[in-house]
Amino acid sequence: MTTDNTTQSLCAQDVHAFTAEARAAIYQTIFSRRDVRGQFLPKPVPDEVLSRIITAAHYAPSVGFMQPWNFLVVRSDAVKRRVHAAFAEAHAEAADMFDADKRAIYKTLKLEGIVESPVGICITCDRNRTGPVVVGRTHMKTMDLYSSVCAVQNLWLAARAEGLGVGWVSIFNQAALQEALAIPKGITPIAYLCVGYVSHFFAKPELETAGWLPRLPIEELVYFDQWGQRDDTQPLVRQLIQDQAAANGSAHQDGHQSIW
């Protein structure tokens, strides 16, 4: 048995590891997750499903266990229109920030589903929730913001497992979004998420398909021991290349075939 196979065998025997089926489901969720903009169906999201994904978000890791998030659920058409108006203003400003070629592509992209999605969820960060001194945030003050982003990711993956699409809309002037949702100035909006059932999930991210940017080769992003130090002779590098290729193949199958 080779060293690699021995390592894999030992990992497979770990008493804390999930079953192969459960592990495959997690990877399927990760690789088939998409930022959804235009495929939302009018089908309502049941409260029991919405509760499960919000609960999953609430169980995200947080610095100092401060749990800085709130979840603002938006179902009102009037509120959605106010949010969309805030997006439209920022969207027009954003188009002028790109050069001519990128601007032309940008204007063709659908970058939100605010009105079409049955539910909006704004995840926020209360940076003063547990006082000025927080375990783990004493030197890196932004860790509370990163914690709220972890809640976003938990919700996103749980939603995908439930068959729900999620679209993260980030093209807002912060003050305009706060005004649309009556969020106090001391609370930081982290993500406005469009949530709902969809007609389909794309095999690849829409921006990748549109040619906006390619998927970066993972082996170029991994360093060893020091920043910028690559070592293409490492067995890990060969494995990363294989796994990214397998993940790309799995994505083209829209998550129906797992690679782990």
For residue 254, give its domain range.
215-260
Average pLDDT along the chain: 93
The reply to whether 83 and 208 lie within a common domain is yes
pLDDT at 6 over 90: no
Q: What percent of the chain has pLDDT over 90?
A: 88
* Residues 97 and 205 grouped into a single domain: yes
> Is residue 4 predicted with pLDDT exceeding 90?
no
SS3 category, 138: coil
Residues 78 and 204 in one domain: yes
Q: What is the pLDDT of residues 14-30, one digit of tens each?
A: 899 999 999 999 999 99
> What's the pLDDT score for residue 155?
98
What average pLDDT does range 54-63 have in this prediction? 98
Nearest to 104 by CA among 216, 215, 214, 211: 211
The encoded tokens of residue 143 equal: 């860790």
For 117, 150, 217, the CA distances from 222, given in Å and listed in that order, are 37, 22, 10
Span 191-234, pLDDT tens digits: 999 999 999 999 999 999 988 999 999 999 999 999 999 999 99
Provide the domain count of the chain.
2
- pLDDT surpasses 90 at 46: yes
Q: Does a structural domain hold residue 232?
A: yes
pLDDT score for 102: 92
Q: For residue 8, is pLDDT > 70?
A: no
User: Looking at the domain assignment, is residue 60 inside a domain?
Assistant: yes
pTM reported for the whole predicted model: 0.90
Specify whether 105 is located in the same domain as 47. yes
Q: How many Å apart are CA 64 and CA 234, to the nearest integer?
A: 36
Average pLDDT over every residue of 85-96: 97
How does pLDDT run across 158-182, given as a tens digit for each residue? Answer: 999 999 999 999 999 999 999 999 9
